[in-house]
Amino acid sequence: MHEDDKTASRYFSLALFFTYFFLLFPCHPFLNYIYNLSLFLFCLSFFSLSFFFYIYL
């Protein structure tokens, strides 16, 4: 197996794990709060990154 394929499969499995993690996350109210917070932070970072690329590229 090629090295790039290995890293790609590693990232894919990580993405799958985090997808399952976030799907199973909001069961408890406090966990739901953390889930919403992390979702908000993810959207914030995504928009700031796209804004940064829009300005500097």
pLDDT in tens, 20-29: 776 666 556 6
pLDDT value of residue 28: 62
How far is Cα 23 from Cα 41, in angstroms, rounded to an integer?
A: 17
Contact 25, 35 (CB under 8 A): yes
pLDDT value of residue 27: 59
**pLDDT confidence of 52, banded at 50, 70, 90?**
confident
In the chain, where the domains are located: 3-56
Phi and psi torsions of 23, nearest 5°: -75, -35
CA quadruple 12, 18, 22, 28: dihedral positive or negative?
Answer: positive
Higher confidence at residue 30 or residue 46?
A: 46
How far is Cα 3 from Cα 9, in angstroms, rounded to an integer?
A: 10
**Polymer length of the chain:** 57
Range name among 25-29, 36-40, 44-48 with the lowest pLDDT average: 25-29
